[in-house]
Structure 1
Amino acid sequence: MPRFNRDYRLLVGHPGQKGVEIVPPMRITFEADKDTKEEPNATKIRIWNLARDTREAMEEPDTVAALYAGYAEEDGPLLLAYGTVAEAWTYFDGPDVVTELEVLDGYAEIRDTVVSLGYGPGARASTVARDLARQMGLRLNMAADVPDRVWQNGYSYYGAARVALHKIVQGTGLEWSIQNGELQIIPRLGTTPRQAFVLAADSGLIGYPERMRKGAREKARVKDQRSGDNKDIVSVKQQIDGWRVKSLLLPTLNPGDLVKLESRTIEGWFRIEALHHTGDWGGPGDWQTELELVDRNAPPRKKKGSK
């Protein structure tokens, strides 16, 4: 089914209170960058020609924003980005007044949550993760079969919740991030328990996949077995080897999700390493998603006759 009728809904306000709602025909643009790192995902939203009281309400400190976007022909606007409004300001652009928001997913929860944890012998990382999510006020997205670290002598901690999260995934082969107000804990290079998505020409794929290869961000120091000297090597696990693809806007996909890519040149199962949503309602800009896909198992299967 063709998807031409773009739709969006933007809610901004204090948690638990009625806030400001922005809907068409107000012009907005957005850029949302998401990955599986521990730092908050960032979304930049611009809105044109708001009334003064609406602008002032959006510029109040510690508001939260929920951006829904999509196509009227399908399910309408779906949750694309959520988080604390870290910065908000208004400026003039010719005859227009533009309000800009910088939204950081999990920013307030990471910044403000201090926890006190104490567990007896046999404490499990999964138990600590559930308690951390509860104290941070976040939903937990964690598969039941993820590797589980055990502290035979018990576990205790007092301090920032983000430090506790980092500690419990160390040595367990896990990674944590916050996606749309949800604490996500999955195996490193693994995928979420959400249903896999098939990305093909009839489900939004635009053009052809582009080969992507990134070097490691840092080198791993190891000791040479013969000389005993330390030297730098690049770990294969630190490198990103996969594909960059573009599609029509896919608001429900998040980093860590499993995707089956079906194109004329490549077919295989991939993990979403990162994605970039862009949208322009009321202007000439795109309404698209760009994805970085990583093959976490075997090399992708090239189709016969492709180069």
Structure 2
Amino acid sequence: MTAQFIRRVSLIVGNASGQGLDLSQLHIKFSIWGATTQSPKHTTIRVYNVADSTAKLLQQEFQQVFLQAGYGDNFGLIFGGAIKQIRKGRENATDTFIDIIAADGDEAYNWSVVNTTLAAGWSQTDYHNALVQSMSSYGISAGYTPEFAATKLPRGKVCYGMTKDYMRQLAGAAGTQWSIQDGQLHMVPISGYRPDESVVLTSDTGMIGVPTQTVDGILVKCLLNPNIKPGSRIQINNASIQQAALSVDYTATNYFPSLDNDGFYKVYAMTQTGDTRGPDFYTDMICAAVNGTAPLTSTYTNAVVSGG
């Protein structure tokens, strides 16, 4: 990984006709949340001291937002989605702002309906293709998909209802978690990960502080890195992980994610935060060992379930 200095941020808003407006040179703050399980990825981007004419134009004409960030050559898309609200406000006597509140794939998640019949002899691949097709009108395409079971079912299957309900059925049968990231439907095996290259995190490559083992998962913080995605792998030195302390009073309920022998950890949930004129430019992750015990309670589960 190249040395991480000289921040780069690009913020573009676009309309249905393909026209765009570049806000990259303004003061920008952002926070992005994403996870491996179904809840749409979402963001709030605050842009300071926007001209009144520009703010009015944003509220009336633009529907999409694309945010890229990173350091030097390690620069890429960290959010692309539909604008849900543009809110004007004032932070103090001198600084005004607009908040761009956006979500990725929420229309497909909330409104997509599947209406089809799978003929006898259908497979999980056929099922998956039908569900992706039902989301295509909302701009969703297939992303990472594992190898499904080759089993052919002897009876036909009628699918009529919310696509997300059928996606839960397919994900459960296939042993995966599903989510929409940057306009693509990904299905990541519960005991697997996306096939992206692992990001090695050390103090030299951007890791901040000490990774900590908690009941929620392995908590890891690093300088903002666009290569880290929900469902991808990171590699850290197990010797750097601060292990959790057991409570002798509640031994039966002590449960902590296991450590991976080789230091590989899957990212289950994450936030990307940044400020072009402040200190924040970080990636915070909740992880668990690849092929190990996963974070099943508290922060991770509550965040995912409540988001859906």
TM over 0.5: yes
SS at match of 2:204: helix
Which consecutive unaligned segments of at least 5 residues does structure 1 have?
215-241, 300-307
Q: Answer whether contact 2:3 2:205 (CA < 8 A) is retained.
A: no
Which consecutive unaligned segments of at least 5 residues does structure 2 have?
242-261, 294-308
Q: Answer whether contact 1:20 1:54 (CA < 8 A) is retained.
A: no
Higher strand share: 1
TM-score normalised according to structure 2 size: 0.79
SS at match of 1:170: helix
Give distance in 1, aligned partners of 2:159 and 2:17: 30
Give distance in 1, aligned partners of 2:149 and 2:203: 36
Residue 36 (structure 1) shift: 1.4
Give distance in 2, aligned partners of 1:119 and 1:274: 34
SS at match of 2:126: helix
Q: Which residue of 2 aligns with 1:297?
A: 291
Q: Which residue of 1 aligns with 2:81?
A: 83
Q: Answer whether contact 1:208 1:263 (CA < 8 A) is retained.
A: no
Whether 1:195 and 2:197 are equivalent positions in the alignment is yes
Amino acid corresponding to residue 176 of structure 1 in structure 2: W
SS at match of 2:215: strand
Whether 1:109 and 2:98 are equivalent positions in the alignment is no
In structure 2, do the counterparts of structure 1 residues 163 and 89 end up closer, same or farther at CA, with 3 Å as the change threshold? same
Whether 1:123 and 2:122 are equivalent positions in the alignment is yes
SS at match of 1:171: helix
Q: Answer whether contact 1:243 1:294 (CA < 8 A) is retained.
A: yes
Count of matched residue positions in the alignment of Structure 1 and Structure 2:
268
CA RMSD of aligned residues (A): 2.3
Q: Which residue of 1 aligns with 2:257?
A: none
Q: Which residue of 2 aligns with 1:250?
A: 225
Q: Answer whether contact 2:238 2:263 (CA < 8 A) is retained.
A: no
Residue 177 (structure 1) shift: 0.6
**Superimposed CA distance per residue, residues 1-36 of structure 1 (whole angstroms, 9 cap, x where no aligned partner):** 542211111122234521222112x00000111111
**Superimposed CA distance per residue, residues 30-79 of structure 1 (whole angstroms, 9 cap, x where no aligned partner):** 011111121212211000111223222332488121110111x224x410
Give distance in 1, aligned partners of 2:212 and 2:119: 51
Residue 189 (structure 1) shift: 4.0
TM-score normalised according to structure 1 size: 0.79
- The sequence identity of aligned pairs, in percent, is 25
Amino acid corresponding to residue 282 of structure 2 in structure 1: Q
Residue 296 (structure 1) shift: 3.5
Q: Which residue of 1 aligns with 2:63?
A: 63
Stretch deviating more after TM superposition (267-276 or 194-203): 194-203
Amino acid corresponding to residue 252 of structure 1 in structure 2: N
Residue 163 (structure 1) shift: 2.1
Amino acid corresponding to residue 158 of structure 1 in structure 2: Y
**Superimposed CA distance per residue, residues 203-249 of structure 1 (whole angstroms, 9 cap, x where no aligned partner):** 211222111213xxxxxxxxxxxxxxxxxxxxxxxxxxx41111111
Amino acid corresponding to residue 259 of structure 1 in structure 2: I
**Superimposed CA distance per residue, residues 99-148 of structure 1 (whole angstroms, 9 cap, x where no aligned partner):** 00111111122233223222211212222223322442323123442446
Q: Which residue of 2 aligns with 1:47?
A: 47
Give distance in 2, aligned partners of 1:130 and 1:203: 39
Q: Answer whether contact 1:28 1:281 (CA < 8 A) is retained.
A: yes
Q: Answer whether contact 1:63 1:84 (CA < 8 A) is retained.
A: yes
